[in-house]
Structure formats: C-alpha cells, structure tokens
Structure 1
C-alpha cells in the first residue's frame, strides 16, 4: 500500500509540473520569445527572379558538407521527399525548415483530400496546412544559427510579420523558396525545389470511386485541384489513388483526370506567359505525377501507355511489399528477390516493377522515380525455431548476420510509430537491444531483438548506397522517400537522403520554381487581388503596397 501511495504522489507531482509548464508557455510565450529573431524571418524575403535562359545558370555547385554532391541540370537526378501535414505534431515535431534542401529537388506535400460527396479537392488539415504559426520555431532555429544569418533590412513590427507571411506548413515552404535564408545557411541553389501537392493517399482511397461515378464530380475535381494548386503556390499535382479497381470505369476515369489536369495546367501556363517574350522551351512548367503501385497485379490494371503521354514522373511506391497483412515475415522495401528457391507466389520487389514498366509498358526510364522507405515494418513473436542454431536459449546467443528471418510465422506486429500498427520510423531504428543487419541479396536492412523475438525490416544507409547506384545504372529519374519525418536530420552519417544523394552525385535543381517567377506573381495578383492565400507575401516580394 505504501508503494502505491508513493507512486500516486510521484505521478501527481509530475502531472502538476507538466500542467504548470504548459500554462506558463501559453500565457507568456510571446513575452519570452525574442521578437528580434522573429523579425529576422520576415527580413529574409527577397524579390522574385526574371526568367533567364537555362544556359546562363551555373549548372554545377559544390555542396557545403564536404561530399561529392553537385547540383546539375538535365544530367542530374530528382531527389524528393513526401512531407505529411501531420509531421509538425507530437511526437514527430518535424517542420519544413528541418529538411536539408541542398539535397532535395521535389517536396510532395501530403495530403490534399477528395470530397467523395462533391468531388472537390480540399485541405487535409486546415490548421497544419495554412493556420499554424511555424515562424516561431523557425526563428528559434535562426537564433541558433545567428553567426550565419544576417538581418538584411530594417526590423519590422511583429504585427507586420504575422500579416505578411502565410501561415501553416504550406506558408513556410513558400517562404523558404522566396527568402535569403536557405542560400545563407546552406548552398546557393538550396531554394530551387519544386513543391507538389499530393491528392489522395491510403486513408482517402474510398472517395475516388465515389468521385469517378459522376461526370460533374470529375469536373469539380479537376477544376478545384488546379485552382488550389495555384492559390497555394504549388508547382504541380501528384495523384495518389490507392488503387483503381480492375473494371472498365475506374482506370478510364483515372486517365481522364490526368488528361484534363494536363490540359488545365497548359492553359494556366499560357495565361501566365501570355504577354511574355520568353520562348516556350525556356518557360517554367507545372508538373503532373502519380504515386504509382509497384507490382504487376495493380500496374496491369492501368492504361499506362496513355497515362505516360501526360505524366512527367511515375513515383514508384517500391515499399510495403510485406507487413501486418502478410502471412509470414518478409522485407517490405527490398530491391530484389534474393530467394534461393522458387515460391508459389511472386516475391514482390522493386526491380521487377521497374523492369515491367520499361520492358513491358515502354515507359522511359527517366520518368521512373524509385521509392525509398523512411520507416520499417515489423513482426513480433517470430517463430525462429526452424533457423539453424536457434533453440530454447535464443536470448543468450549472438547474431552472426547470416541468419535469414523471412518466410517465418509470427504473431502480432508491434510498432513504435503512432498511426499504424507494425511501423517504426527509421529514426527509431534499430530497436533497442538489437543490431542492424543488411541482406545484400534482397538489398534490405533488418534488426532482430532476441529477447522479444521482434523483427523489423527497413531501408538503411547501406541499402541507400545500392539503390543510388541502381538508379544510375538503370538511367532512372531519381528517387523519393516516404516520408521526410522518418529520416535522421541531425546526423548525416545516418541520414537516408544524405546517403542516397551522395551516391547519385548530381541533383536536378537547376530550374527554379514557377513560384519564384515575377510573371507568376503578377498573374497571381491579377487573379486573386488581396484575397489570395499568398497575396500579401507576393505583394511584398514585388515591392507593391498592400492591395
């Protein structure tokens, strides 16, 4: 009973302390916060660029981290990350400014959602997307970098800051692309990255079939998607319907949507550049891509050859090959089928999907983007009794690295990442008490905890090196990672994106965003006046008075 009382009072003290801390922060945050740091944020904004021919831009810039990474034009590779709008929330607390943009050519912002009732595209999380104030954590980070960041103009008032700068994650991404901040603390071309809005996702999968049944809903989808893309400052649209059924309707509708989106994007480009003397080939363009399944069963359903005519990239989701739905353990992001024996069913792997797209469907390799996993999938209570040398005293033995933990029975999946059973963020791995191992035949990392019989399979630095070389050998467009919050951002030696881009050597970052262009900004104010999400920031960038 005494122990129970001690535990009670200990818990009471801890909870009281937490409550006092939260109340203090809520009441005094603005007073405790150094406003001069926040002023630095606004003062980093700089005017947009006028379009110049590509050959006038330096096409090879050395990275500042003593690696062999260079920034290059058409010979370079794409390096993308999906950034989810739940990333800023606890426990992830991953903000846009945490990304190393010197290594990123594309950010896929996830997710915008389809309203199945009317077909319109909507914000997925309004607070995170456009309302959350992320400039305070950014300003705090600037304070830590005070030796690298200068104040460029006269200080502004805090009310001006809150008025001029668009809020939310979308707002901060716009700011990062149009400020002096990234070139100051990183490399000159760091802010040359594309922002793409991703529509759909697994949790929104049921809305697509509802939309597909109505011509009016399809029309609403296309028009609202393009309107939101432009108002919120995106360079394009990425479609993620998981997955169209094998029937006469859904694949055809998916193609129709892509064709109409491409047409709408082309028309918008014509409007932006209607009075411009810049040649068409030197104009900036909106991108259309698809988050594609990466195994033949789902790919064969799609009219790939027709879709390929309007798509810029196929983001191949070469992960989730195994997981909690699998009967036995297996790698979830393996590059190859490294099995020594034939299986009744195909062992899913990235290489087979890439070959199918190139050899069977005729898709150009430089349109295919290899998917990389920033997370692992796990299994608990794995039955290892069939592995040679394992028995009753498994907890006392040491792993040699030669053990094969796939095709084993298990019970449960565990997981340390909230949101989905059986998942660990890469930055939570290897799990405590285990040692990271690498299977070169499959090209997958894994860790195994002998005490709990828990297996987690995932990508690591070693698999990034192999996959980077694979991209170069196959002539692919590049790679992307789902999702950015899973990577290690404070230790380059453990970072997946760092390892992958080091192997690639060249990143395709020469062409800047269409939302860094004066013509785009002028057309934006013509369309939205002072009512657009970005109107005030754009007016400031153009040195115009508030409209």
Structure 2
C-alpha cells in the first residue's frame, strides 16, 4: 500500500477524531499500545493474535519487535509470523489492516527491545554509512507494509556494553537522520526511553533529542523487581514513606511522579511525554510468609504466569485468574498508590483499574501526552475474570477521554459489513459518506470496500464537516 493512500485515510480520520471531542473533550491525548507479537504462541487462553486486538481502544498500535544488524540492516525476527513470503502467516498485513476498521488508528513498528541489546545500535549509530543504511531500510519497510512510523527502542544508549563513550551524542545524530528520512513521507518517529533520572541522564541529552521525536514513550515501570534486596512494587505513582532515608537519592527517583518531573524539568514538552504503564506485575518469593509488607526480604523471583512462563512476572490476566482460583490477600499501598498481593511466600506488586485510573488522572492533571501500555496481551483481553474485555485499557480510556474509546466509537459500532445493503457507489472517491436513511450511520469508502460506523449516542453525522456532532447542530 502506498503512503499516499494512508495519508488520505489518516487526514479524514483525523477529522473524525476531532469530532469525537464533542463527547470526550480530550482528543489530543494518546493511548500508545505495544503488542509483543510472540504472544500468538502462548498456550490456551493466553494466546493473543491480531484478531484479539480491539482497534478502537488505542490511538497508536506498536508492533514489537524488529531487530537491527551491525551493518545497519533491519532484521525481521520471525519471518514466518510477520511476512507472507514462503507461505508465512502475514501477521504484519493483518496488523495494519486494523486501520480499515478504525481509520483514525496509527500503526508503528518498534525496532529493538531489551533482548536486542545495546551493542548493535551503538555500532550503527557511530557510523554515517550504517546509519544511512538503517534509515533507508526503515523507510522502505514502512512504505512496503503500510505502517505510519517507527518506534526506536534502544535499551539503552551509553549502557549495557563496552562501546559506551559516544552513544549519548551519536543517539542525537541517529534520531536527527531518522527524522530527516521519515519526514518527507509524513512518517512518525517515537522512542521508548529509560525513565529514572540516574539512568536517563547517562543515555539522553533531553533538550537535544526532543525536536526529532513526535512522542517520547517513557518506560516508567520495572522500577522495582527481584534484582532489589527487598520486595517492591513495579511502578509506584509516588515515593514510599521510607524512600527519603536512602542516602544515594536513587530510591526517591523510582516512582512515576519523580520520573515525570525529571523529564519535564530537563526539557521534555509535556504534550510529547507519554507515561508508560505495565499491564504485568513483578513477583518475589518471600524469605518468610509473615514478612509480606513492601520492603520485606526475599530470596529471588516469584512464580511465573502460565501463559507468559517467565519467572518473576505475572500478567494482569494471569494474576486475576490466579486470584479466582486461590486465596490471595490483596492490599493497597496508600503512599505509593498501587496494589500488592501475597499468598504464602509468593508476593506481587502490580496494577489494577484503581491504580491505572490514578495514573491516567495524573496524566490529565499534568497535561501530558498520554499513556503507553506494555503490553496488550497482558490485559484481561478475553474478560475471563468477570469484567468486560480489556478492563485496564477501558479504565485508562475512561479517564483520558470520558468515553470507552478515544473516538467514542467501539468494535460493536463498526464492522466491515454494510448496513441494510448500503454499498459505496462504484468509483466513489475515498472518504466518508452518510447513510441516506439514518443520520447516525456513516460509511468509509475505500478501494471499492464499504466500512460501517455508528455515531456515538446523541450524535449525527454532519456532511459538511465529515464528523459526528450534536443532533441539534446537524442538518438531517
């Protein structure tokens, strides 16, 4: 698919999104959702494919991950899953086809991640020819597959390996050249970045990188885990009562509030700053069953989830299922504004709808760009725990938009089957048309296909603005 087609879709989609502000008032907020594509190989109810993504719950979907070679080449990690060549499963094509259901949606591909390491990025970033190769590969890949941009996930410049000396300045050059390569095609550039001050200041010259990034996805999680001497909660909103007694000053930096204030003070514009939240908890094995408060001693990682199968980690879906089957004691840590739970010697600090509601409200109060989620497959995406599907994601949307979704539209209010036999006229230009008999219904015509939508309750589709508006304002 050529990028021109995508731009027309997105421009018209943006008009629709603007209209949703009649319902929500906050169409500028972003909900940036990563999918770890390997989750399609998980067993049982944990299996998560593109068909499980609700395309209306996020403003940006990020396909994670591609890799990078030391030559500067882009590397497809799972060609059988990602591509259609050689009878592959064509996952990327299905992923980007979600924009046919929700034309407002933007899709990006992420390169990197923790497992990809730092060294290869470092080697490429220091070499002008390798940087140019990477930029060229990225542009061609985005064009070929219909993505709207790149998310650079180098974890982390100037850390984790021996080629550290020049990373901080080379990262700036790398972003600058990526932006220059992407901009002519209106492709986005975002980056996933380290969060706490003592780490971030090693990696980033914040005022220097800001001009080249459309969104800065701050990974404000993994702030505590089994690598610590005592148990702690994955992503506290505020500092714990005892953090101030840490003579190094590091403990006071390990909370969302301190992270956001550091990035803002260092020069990040609030509207570009997107706060990352985890849809998983960090688990520990306690030294004794009785020592179950935050700050208690432990002997290492706790249990693994039955889907993610990684010791020390429990997805929200895995935890809520466990809590249905076993007796866990659930507690609220009032200073840090996050929950934790324990059962015998197993302990987990995690997120629930209450803590995520508070984080989303923090984003609203500080006029930040939005919330980033790692990652979709860890929400209760099937609704097996007795709530609706995607309870965590719905709660974030409710706070940011005052509605279930960023657009006010839902999976149920749109489908690919034309309503009551309506078809886009042959040769119709790409764009939105209203149902001739029902002003609450409208259609998106694209390449001979008809995609159906309903306006949110109380709104009609306005032909002059190509958007949903209050019924009293629409000539019907």
TM over 0.5: yes
Identify if the C-alpha distance between structure 1 residues 132 and 502 changes in structure 2 by more than 3 Å, giving closer, same or farther: farther
Q: How many angstroms apart in 2 are the aligned matches of 1:112 and 1:216?
A: 20
Distance 1:59 1:195 in 2: 19
- Deviation track 1:494-542 (CA, whole Å, cap 9, x = no partner) reads 72101111111256559xxxxxxxxxxxxxxxxxxxxxxxxxxxxx964
CA 1:99 to 1:436, structure 2 compared with 1: closer, same or farther past 3 Å? farther
Q: Does 1:369 align with 2:256?
A: no
* Pairing partner for 2:348 from 443, 456, 462: 456
In the alignment, what sits opposite 2:177? Answer: 260
1:4-15 aligned within 5 A:
none
Aligned residues: 387
**Separation in 2 of the partners of 1:54 and 1:176?**
13
1:315 corresponds to 2:211 = no
Any residues of structure 2 matched to 1:201-350 within 5 Å, and which?
201-205=113-117, 206-245=119-158, 247-267=164-184, 269=185, 285-301=186-202, 302-340=204-242, 342-345=245-248, 346-347=250-251, 348-350=254-256
Runs (5+) with no aligned partner, structure 2: 409-444, 450-476
Tell me the equivalent position of 1:444.
338
- 1:169 corresponds to which of 75, 91, 94: 91
* Residues 309, 435 of structure 1: alpha-carbon distance in 2 compared, 3 angstrom cutoff: same
CA 1:115 to 1:335, structure 2 compared with 1: closer, same or farther past 3 Å? same
Residue 472 (1) aligns with residue 337 (2): no
CA shift, 1:213, in A, is: 4.2
CA distance in 2, matches of 1:55, 1:250: 37
Partner of 1:198: 110
Structure 2 counterpart SS, 1:196: strand
Cα gap change, 1:365/1:500 in structure 2, threshold over 3 Å: closer, same or farther?
Answer: same
Q: Indicate if the aligned counterparts of 1:292 and 1:315 stay in contact, CA closer than 8 A.
A: yes
Query: Deviation of residue 88 (structure 1)?
Result: 1.1
What is the rounded CA distance, in whole Å, between the counterparts of 1:103 and 1:298 in structure 2?
31
1:48–1:542 Cα contact (<8 Å) kept:
no
Higher relative contact order (CA 8 A, sep 6+): 1
Residue of structure 1 in register with 2:396 after alignment: 500
Aligned residue for 1:222, secondary structure, equals helix
- Find the residue that maps to 2:124 and give its secondary structure: helix
Measured after TM superposition, the shift of residue 55 of structure 1 is 8.8
1:97 aligns with 2:87: no
1:387-536 equivalent positions in 2, closer than 5 A: 387=291, 404-416=293-305, 417-418=307-308, 420-430=310-320, 431=322, 432-450=326-344, 453-491=345-383, 492-493=387-388, 495-505=391-401
Q: 1:200 to 1:54 in 2, by over 3 A?
A: closer
Change over 3 Å in CA distance of 1:504–1:440 after alignment to 2: farther
Highest Rg: 1 or 2?
Answer: 1
Q: Which residue of 2 aligns with 1:537?
A: none
Distance 1:342 1:201, change over 3 A: same
Q: Deviations over 1:66-94 (max 9, x none)?
A: xxx9466x743111210112021122311
Q: How large is the Cα RMSD of the aligned pairs?
A: 3.1
Distance 1:194 1:305 in 2: 26
CA distance in 2, matches of 1:378, 1:132: 40
CA deviation after TM superposition for structure 1 residue 169, in Å: 2.0
Q: Secondary structure at the match of 2:233?
A: coil
1:336 to partner: Cα distance: 1.1
Deviations 1:233-277 (A, max 9, x none): 11111111111116541112211111111111123x2xxxxxxxx
| CA displacement at 1:53 relative to structure 2 | 7.2
Aligned CA distance change for structure 1 residues 245 and 79 (closer, same or farther; 3 Å): same
Describe the shift of the 1:75–1:202 C-alpha distance in structure 2 as closer, same or farther (beyond 3 A): same
Secondary structure of the corresponding residue to residue 212 of structure 2: coil
**Aligned equivalents of 1:58, 1:239: Cα separation in 2:** 26
Preserved contact between residue 125 and residue 174 of structure 2 (Cα < 8 Å): no
Contact 1:331 1:406 in 2 (8 A): no
Report the secondary structure of 2:277's partner residue: strand
CA contact (8 A) 2:56 2:105 kept: no
Structure with the larger strand share: 2
Residue 59 (structure 1) aligned to one of 9, 12, 18: 18
TM-score by length of 2: 0.74
